[in-house]
Amino acid sequence: MMNVNTRGTYLTSKACIPFLKKSKVGHILNLSPPLNLNPLWFKQHCAYTIAKYGMSMCVLGMAEEFRGEIAVNALWPRTAIHTAAMDMLGGSGVENQCRKVDIIADAAYSIFKRPKSFTGNFIIDENILKEEGIKNFDVYAIAPGHPLLPDFFLDEHPDAVMEEKESNDSVPEVKEEKLQLQEESQLQKQPQLQEQPQLQEKPQLQEKPQLQEQPQLQEKPQLQEQPQQREQPQLQQQPRPRQQPQPFVQSMLPQKPHFGAVEETFRIVKDSLSDEVVRATQAVYQFELSGEDGGTWFLDLKSKGGKVGHGEPSDRADVVMSMATDDFVKMFSGKLKPTMAFMSGKLKIKGNIALAIKLEKLMTQMNSRL
**Among 48, 109, 140, 285, which one carries the catalytic annotation?**
48
Q: Which amino acid is at 117?
A: S
**Please, which residues have CB within 8 angstroms of residue 99's CB and are 6 or more apart in sequence?**
77, 79, 80, 81, 82, 137, 140, 141, 142, 148
- The angle, 0 to 180 degrees and rounded to 10, between the axes of the packed helices 325-333 and 353-366 is 60
Dihedral over alpha carbons 152, 155, 158, 162 (to 10 degrees): -100
Residues 299, 283: Cα–Cα separation, whole Å: 8
Residue 285: active-site member: no
The Cα 276–Cα 63 span in angstroms is 54
Q: Are 243 and 249 in contact (CB under 8 A)?
A: yes
Residue 10 to residues 52, 54, 262, 265, Cα–Cα distance (Å): 12, 9, 49, 48
- Is residue 301 a contact partner of residue 286, using CB atoms and an 8 Å limit? no
CA–CA separation, 367 vs 173, rounded Å? 8
Cα–Cα distance, 50 to 41 (Å, whole number): 10
27-30, strands of its sheet edge to edge: 27-30, 71-76, 122-124
Question: Where in the sequence numbering do the catalytic residues fall?
Answer: 48
